[in-house]
Amino acid sequence: MNELFQTVLVYALPVIFAITVHEGARAYVARYFGDTTPEAAGRLTLNPINHIDPLGTIIFPAVLYLATGGAFLFGYAKRLPLNPGQMRDPKKNLKWLALSGPAANFSMAVLWAIFSIILIVMRVNESFFVEMASAGVKVNIALFAFHLIPILPMAGGQVIFSLLPSRQAYQFAKVEPYGFLIVLGLAILHLLQYWMQPLMRIQIEVLNLLLSPLRAILG
């Protein structure tokens, strides 16, 4: 139980930051393209309270973690209210709105990786902070890969919808009501890893490439 409690503490801050920045970025991009609905709903903020859904962000992931022994974890934030009709070009703007969340998560992964390097340079050996920095990278690269799953309503599916011609996009959108069930099924069948793991490995390689000059300077 103590180990589980420590794991929860290590991951709590990275998860909260990951969700908050992800949703805040989407709200900002929505406003940039003319949709003020998220701002009016108080979602154009980095205050986690405005983004966290008690059931989807806390209870549901905790129950799944305990029920599966940590083998499967899934959660979600409050649904971001959008009014595509306010956007200048809803279909074209959708891909940028969709990509903004994963982009925010990758940016957070970079910051956590920098934090990890700083800990090493400063010779901070406190395991809690070292593990938290590692968790921050893991959480954000996992969210990046997860949200880019090419199934609606995931961000990856929204990008595909935005790029398809109108007729094909309409046909593709018919899967959206079943999207989360499909993703859940893929996860239960351990098929989701074939999408997640390659994307996560690519991100790690990119992170190492981006941060190699900083490591060289501080090393």
Positive or negative, the CA dihedral 202, 78, 192, 130 is: positive
The answer to whether the bond into 198 is cis (omega within 30° of 0) is: no
Q: E-assigned strands of the chain? A: none
Mean per-residue pLDDT over the chain, rounded: 88
The pair of structure tokens assigned to 173 is 């959108």
Measuring CA to CA, which residue among 100, 128, 102, 106 is closest to residue 204?
106
Measuring CA to CA, which residue among 103, 101, 106 is closest to residue 136?
106
Percent share of the chain, pLDDT over 90:
58
Residue type, 179: G
Give residue 66's domain range: 2-218
- Helices 2-32 and 90-121: crossing angle in degrees, nearest 10, is 140
Place of tokens 């969700």: 19
Residue 4 has pLDDT above 80, yes or no: no
What pTM was estimated for this model as a whole?
A: 0.90
Total number of domains constituting the chain: 1
For residue 179, the model assigns a pLDDT of: 92
Give the number of other CB atoms < 10 A from CB of residue 74.
Answer: 16
Residue 159 has pLDDT above 60, yes or no: yes
Q: What is the mean pLDDT of residues 61-86?
A: 71
Q: Kindly tell me the burial class for residue 35, based on how many C-beta atoms sit within 10 Å of its own C-beta (0-12, 13-18, 19 or more).
A: buried
CB 86 within 8 A of CB 121: no
CA distance 18 to 102: 10
Residue 62 has pLDDT above 60, yes or no: yes
Residue 43 has pLDDT above 60, yes or no: yes
